[in-house]
Amino acid sequence: MSGRVLPVVVNDRESETRTPAHPLYRIPDDARDPFTACPPQPSLRAGEDDLTRLAPGRPQASGDAIVISGRVVDEDFRPVRRMLIEVWGANAHGRYSHLIDAGRNDAPLDPNFYGFGRLMTDDDGRYRVRTIKPGAYIARKDIAWWRPPHVHFSVVGSGVRLVTQMYFPDEPLNEKDYIFLIVPAADRDRVIGEPIDPLGGDRAFRFDIVLRGRYQTPPDLD
């Protein structure tokens, strides 16, 4: 690693913020392992694993509350601990709490639903999140393309990021969704949540995520 500072591209804020402010120095060979890159642990707020409320004690959002749980595993099906999972989805009307959706979606917002949360896998690679089952929404009016209910997942850690979507079983729109149809037919079962016994009165689904390898959970190619 040389001490040369990389050039800054004028008016490029990303280049400016990523360019070292001071000359770089070489880490001694016998001291490299302790400096292995490791993402910082995120600061999680209480209740981020429950998307049905804006905060503990607040009113519950409209729609059917569901629980999604599962395990995050590697290519050898070993549990991956302390992985950050980000979860987001549309509300029961099929509307995202996002500025981009404001100009193209006429469905109403839910004042009690933000639709985004974070959580960490435990020492067995397990996670559990409570949310509202998303509604379907029209993605392209010109071709009458309706997206089926789905929940987005981003798994981050150990130098890996996998973004995928969980679909719901027996949804007629699944077989008409272009993003779902990109997934090879033999792999589609792996992006559909498996119904399990209700938890606390909520419908529940199991969704295991494989990060790498032959059985990797199909990534989101949207």
**In terms of Cα–Cα distance, which of 189, 214, 218 is closest to 77?**
214
Active site residue 152: yes
Beta bridge partners of 2: none
- Which is catalytic among the residues 53, 96, 127, 167? 96
Strands 150-157 and 84-88, by their bridges, are antiparallel
Catalytic residue list contains 137: yes
Handedness of CA 120, 123, 127, 128 (dihedral sign): negative
How far apart CA 17 and CA 108 sit, in angstroms, is 38
Q: Is 25 a catalytic residue?
A: no
Cβ count near 116 (within 10 Å) = 16
- Asked if 150 is an active-site residue, the reply is yes
Catalytic, out of 93, 118, 150, 190: 150
| Residue 167 annotated to the active site | no
- Which of the following is catalytic: 53, 130, 147, 190? 147
Which residue in the list 93, 118, 130, 137 is annotated as catalytic?
A: 137
Amino acid (1-letter code) at residue 173: L
Helix (H, G, I), strand (E, B) or coil at 205: strand
Please identify which of the residues 118, 152, 167, 190 carries the catalytic annotation: 152
Catalytic sites, residue numbers: 96, 137, 147, 150, 152
